[in-house]
Amino acid sequence: MVDLKRQYQNIKTEVDTAIQEVIESTAFIRGGKVREFEDNLAKYAGVKHAIGCGNGTDALQIACMALGLQEGDEVIVPSFTFIASAEIIALLKLTPIFVDVDYDTMNISVEAVKKAITSKTKAIIPVHLFGQCADMTGLTKVAKDHNIFLIEDACQALGATYMLNGEQKSAVGMSDIACTSFFPSKNLGCYGDGGALFTNDDELAANIRQIANHGSRVKYHHDIVGVNSRLDTIQAAILDVKLPHLDDYCKARQKVAAKYNEAFANVKGLDITGTVENSTHVYHQYTLKVTNGKRDALKAHLAEQNIPSMVYYPIPMHQQKAYENERYVSVEGDVSAQLSECVISLPIHTEMTAEENEFIIEKVVEFFD
């Protein structure tokens, strides 16, 4: 699905040197490189503060803690997503309210969000799914109207931009706190686990740093309950080498996706992903809907040609055993469940050649002929 080895080969000297420098400095935890990378990341994203942490899941959990969400508070989250966004809500004894998504874009449905709001609603966690921002124009308005927090799950969308009320914003710059992940296969991936939080609010930034550091601002003084969640210095050094390449990486993915879209737009039995108005798409995943019921057969057909494919996500949150008793709000039918039956993601990565791209297209198209 991705080719991290070829990507590494192209930046090997810089990465190896950066890692070596950290080892020789022995500043493995909270080394100077972490702050340096955080500053560069904040600048890149056009957000005042970027704060590294252990992984994207931790980032979401720390965000909910920093906003002071309390047991019983309702948090709205899309049902068609990766489990992390729901898991941290449950772990903090908050109440997840799953809402349906739009068929076209597969992102959270603003209509469903409106329908799900109660007097207990304290936050919405939109997920910028597969690399395309959710409808932030609609969501920021809903959040403002009801005085509730917005936490962006931008784990799949770092590098994407959105035109919000006439201003260009990054995918991590439109909410109280935004979260991203540096899991190796993400658009900006490190060589292990890593994540970051973003905020424009100085006090929230200080809270986030405190929570991520055992609830401590002064060593061995713990005024609040925290966690231990840090971005390793080695990972920060690797990310700092890769960050200047992120826009090119996104462009490379967009190029592959444009070829796919062109080839699949008129294939009977396939729906390509709809575009979100005002958003760019950085294609963390390239996802199609197979509308003739033959998704699994297509997957098998591709596997025969040694073409990998994945189903993101085979079971929506409201149908997962651990969450099946939670509230689920949809507007028309159950789009999340429908998507789980028909989506398929094709290989897409920064080093994919035109020949590989063509080969995959040929094998997909031939299946529908």
Ligand X SMILES: *Cc1c(COP(=O)(O)O)cnc(C)c1O
Whole-number minimum distance, CB 183 to ligand X, in Å?
A: 4
Whole-number minimum distance, CB 175 to ligand X, in Å?
A: 14
The single residue among 57, 61, 109, 254 that binds ligand X, judged by CB under 6 A, is: 57
Say if CB 330 and CB 111 are below 8 A apart: no
**Using the rule CB under 6 A, is 55 a contact of ligand X?**
yes
Q: From CA 247, how far away is CA 257, in angstroms rounded? A: 15
The one-letter amino acid at 146: H
Number of residues this chain uses to bind ligand X (CB under 6 A): 15
Whole-number minimum distance, CB 194 to ligand X, in Å?
A: 7
Say if CB 149 and CB 123 are below 8 A apart: yes
Of the pair 73, 193, the CB lying nearest ligand X is at: 193
**Using the rule CB under 6 A, is 181 a contact of ligand X?**
yes
Whole-number minimum distance, CB 54 to ligand X, in Å?
A: 8
Tokens of 256: 């592959």
Of the pair 140, 156, the CB lying nearest ligand X is at: 156
Which among 45, 53, 103 has a CA at the least distance from the CA of 78?
Answer: 103
The single residue among 74, 100, 111, 153 that binds ligand X, judged by CB under 6 A, is: 153
The single residue among 76, 127, 239, 343 that binds ligand X, judged by CB under 6 A, is: 127
Of the pair 84, 270, the CB lying nearest ligand X is at: 84
Of the pair 73, 87, the CB lying nearest ligand X is at: 87
Nearby residues of 220 by Cβ (< 8 Å), 6 or more positions away: none
Scanning 54-62, 94-102, 237-245, 319-327 for contacts with ligand X by CB under 6 A, the matching segment is 54-62
Query: Measured over all CA atoms, what is the biggest interatomic distance in the chain, rounded to whole angstroms?
Result: 68
Whole-number minimum distance, CB 259 to ligand X, in Å?
A: 24
Pairing of strands 327-329, 167-170: unpaired
DSSP H helices in the chain: 4-25, 32-45, 56-66, 84-91, 110-116, 136-146, 202-212, 233-242, 246-264, 295-304, 335-342, 354-368
Of the pair 62, 270, the CB lying nearest ligand X is at: 62
Of the pair 53, 298, the CB lying nearest ligand X is at: 53
Say if CB 337 and CB 313 are below 8 A apart: no
Which among 284, 46, 58 has a CA at the least distance from the CA of 188?
Answer: 284
**Using the rule CB under 6 A, is 171 a contact of ligand X?**
no
Restricted to residues 62-101, the positions that interact with ligand X (CB under 6 A) are 81-82, 84-85
Q: Residue holding tokens 């609830």?
A: 215
Using alpha carbons, list the distances in angstroms from residue 164 to 43, 137, 144, 169, 230: 19, 6, 14, 7, 31
**Using the rule CB under 6 A, is 155 a contact of ligand X?**
yes
Q: Closest residue (Cβ) to ligand X?
A: 56
For the chain, give the number of residues. Answer: 369
Say if CB 167 and CB 194 are below 8 A apart: no
The single residue among 42, 49, 52, 56 that binds ligand X, judged by CB under 6 A, is: 56
- The DSSP secondary structure of 299-350, one letter per residue, reads HHHHHHTT---B-S-SS-GGGSGGGTTSEEE-SSS-HHHHHHHHEEEE---T
Scanning 70-78, 102-110, 149-157, 322-330 for contacts with ligand X by CB under 6 A, the matching segment is 149-157
Binding mask 186-225 for ligand X (x = CB under 6 A): -------x-x------------------------------
Of the pair 82, 328, the CB lying nearest ligand X is at: 82
Interface residue list for ligand X (CB under 6 A): 55-57, 81-82, 84-85, 127, 153, 155-156, 181, 183, 193, 195
